[in-house]
Amino acid sequence: MGAGIVGLTAAYLLAKAGLSVFVLEGRRVGRQVTGRSTAKITTQHSLIYRHLIETFDLDTAKRYADANRLGMQQVQHWVDQLEIACDFEAKDAYAYSCDGSRVRDLEAEADAARRVGIGAEVLQSAPLPFKTAGALRFRHQAQFNPAQYLVGLARACASAGAQVFENTRVTNVKQADGWKLTAGMGALRVDHAVLATNLPIAGPVRFDKRTRPRSHIAMAFRIAPKAAIDGMFIGVDEPTHSLRMGRDQDGPLLVVLGRKFDTGQEGDVAKHFLELEAWTTQNFEVGGVGWRWVNEDYDTADRVPFAGGLPRAPGLYVATGFNAWGITNGTATGILIAEQILGRAPPWASVYDPTRKTPQGFNKGGDSQSLVHSLGDIEPGGGGVMSLGRGKIAVWKGNDGTPHAVSAACTHEGCTVTWNNADRTWDCPCHGSIFSTEGHVIHGPAVEPLPARKLPPNWLR
């Protein structure tokens, strides 16, 4: 379930091994979280290795590095072997700071990286057009177009015998002589079920309590070739900025990732785009904005994903909590799940243990940031949440001012949604479900849409 990088990686390996494989995608291949990422194929996950050594131990940090190194190598191998046209380019990866006091952090991370077997070097500055105090460089990393990669991998799955179904949202996963999956009017009985759905939608473990949903904003600016940067960059200062080059049919783009925020807990997402545009135009010679979007991921308390089989639910596998580093981690966990289904386990499998202990209260949830008193408080093109009887409704107005209403209670746990004024979506501030203006599910863990609601006639006068 889920045709992102985890689901398709596992599906391809299992189909190649001769298993009967079905991939069920609620929307379209490449249009979800993986396809909307900045897609750095790298073992450099900001300042991760010192953290892992101090939080766990050196052995855990080494296993995390080994898993992500394998993930990076697997992507490159399949791009070559399967001839996937996805703008794959070898690039160095840099973590940089503009604060001189943080150079020691870069040096400590370089030492930690070398201890886990990764070549790393500290530079006096990053090769960027603005002043930096220092940078950490990992050589021989890579970047690609993630949507094109997923489409190519889905084709490879089909060629290997897997059946890939788009626009097929699974609404129920039940243990019944194996596992029974329900999608619309259809049902499928399987021996093994892989929940590669950003956040698992079923199972005995409450990953919605063990992870925290966060979103971040991204923009792609037109840029002249002479002004292009060479490499992939992540700032370690707050607010963090991630940078890389990309391209579309109209030419090169500077892709910039900006401020993160807890999903559904930001009342004005659009202002962050204005801030990011101002920062980018101040630091780079860019033209107009070609693309802008919001993407969502889930954080874990220890910055390591949860992935693998669940002992209390034999035959059920999960992968979640990628902390915004899902390309190599996602590929590694896809390999892990496929290996477990085939009766094997990689030597680094335990690093992703989905049942490991986590602190209580990591996800504290939140309340709607969009409460209004009347329809008059909602501008054309905007949205708000209003009380109606004992419940609440979520009202969005079209550009012509026509109001449209759905239930404001997220169909996952009933939390009241927030209007995202940048993406024009209804976002749950508790567990990260995202719905379209009409209430259709975009991201789970919700599997059912927000029901339509009628506005009282006297409200429309």
Q: What is the pLDDT of residues 146-188, one digit of tens each?
A: 999 999 999 999 999 999 999 999 999 999 889 999 998 899 9
What pLDDT shows up at residue 389?
Answer: 85
What pLDDT shows up at residue 458?
Answer: 81
Mean pLDDT for 256-275 is 95
Looking at the predicted structure, is the pLDDT value of residue 37 above 70?
A: yes
Mean pLDDT for 68-91 is 98
For residue range 87-125, list pLDDT tens digits in order.
999 999 999 999 999 999 999 999 999 999 999 999 999
DSSP character for 313?
Answer: E
Residue 37 backbone dihedrals phi, psi, to 5 degrees: -85, 170
Mean pLDDT for 316-321 is 98
For residue range 214-232, list pLDDT tens digits in order.
999 999 999 999 999 999 9
Looking at the predicted structure, is the pLDDT value of residue 460 above 80?
A: no
Q: Which range among 50-54, 443-447, 455-459 has the greatest average pLDDT?
A: 50-54
Looking at the predicted structure, is the pLDDT value of residue 396 above 70?
A: yes
Mean pLDDT for 377-395 is 94
What pLDDT shows up at residue 461?
Answer: 66
Mean pLDDT for 225-250 is 96
Question: Rg of the Cα trace of the chain?
Answer: 22
> Which of 410, 412, 414, 363 is closest to 209 using CA atoms?
363
> Which of 375, 365, 353 is closest to 416 using CA atoms?
365
Looking at the predicted structure, is the pLDDT value of residue 326 above 80?
A: yes
What pLDDT shows up at residue 320?
Answer: 98
Q: Taking a C-beta distance cutoff of 8 angstroms, is the pair 194, 24 a contact?
A: no
Mean pLDDT for 38-51 is 97
List domains and CATH numbers for the chain. 375-460 (2.102.10.10)
- 141: β partners: 91
**Residue 250 banded pLDDT, cuts 50, 70, 90:** very high
